[in-house]
Amino acid sequence: MPVDLSLLVLLILFTGGVLQGSVGFESGVFFIPLLLVIGLTLPEAVGIQMVCTIVQNGLGVYQLRHHIRLCETIFPVVLRYAFLGVGFWALCRVGTLDPNQVKQIAGVVLLGVLAAQFGVSGVVTGLCAMGGPFMALWVMTHDWSPQRSRGFLFFIFLVTLTPQAIIMLIIFRGVVANAYLFGLLALPVSVAGA
């Protein structure tokens, strides 16, 4: 990746880290579309986002571990897993399209994020790593403390993003491997933003 493009990606990741750290979810909604606009493919953008988000969610789960009730996470985790395959199938299809079409599809996905919660969350997470708003809507229906809400979200994202990262590596091999490497190298910038 050229230096100027790398610096732009790092700036986007830092800003996404600030968003993730302050809101507690969905830096992907912010930086996946921006990474597409600057010329990355959807698998590359999702791969970079996934590495940074897994680490950020892991840190959040650790910090808020005493506020997480595992019994409350079973239902949303199972449903996200159940629909993750649909998202991977869609990513495989979308990943071969013209970049301009992919940008349009990403825009439609962002609008569609407001349509449902758990099941669609798995599909959207598998397709473009932007399933957090569904989970945030669920959390908002409960009278939970901010720590419990954030801990729940971090946990749900961590346990569903990790297998997603492995499956994407199997499906997209070289493209995602390079994106993961960039994401690992960019972790200090993303974590600093968070």
For 51-73, write each residue's pLDDT tens digit.
Answer: 888 888 888 899 999 999 999 99
**In the chain, how many H helices and how many E strands?**
8, 0
pLDDT for the residue 126: 81
134: Cβ–Cβ under 8 A, 6 or more apart, which residues? 113, 116, 117, 118, 120, 121, 124
Residues 70-85 pLDDT 10s: 999 998 889 888 988 8
pLDDT for the residue 2: 87
Which amino acid is residue 44, in one-letter code?
Answer: E
Averaged over 173-189, what is the pLDDT? 89
CB 168 within 8 A of CB 54: no
Long-range contacts of residues 186-189, Cβ cutoff 8 Å, at least 24 apart: 186/9, 186/10, 186/13, 186/48, 186/51, 186/52, 187/51, 187/52, 187/55, 189/10, 189/13, 189/14, 189/17
| Separation between Cα atoms, residue 54 and residue 154, nearest integer Å | 9
Judged against a pLDDT cut of 70, whether residue 170 lies above it is answered with: yes
Domain that holds residue 143: 3-193
Sign of CA dihedral 131, 13, 174, 58: negative
Domain count, the chain: 1
Averaged over 176-191, what is the pLDDT? 89
Sign of CA dihedral 50, 54, 57, 59: negative
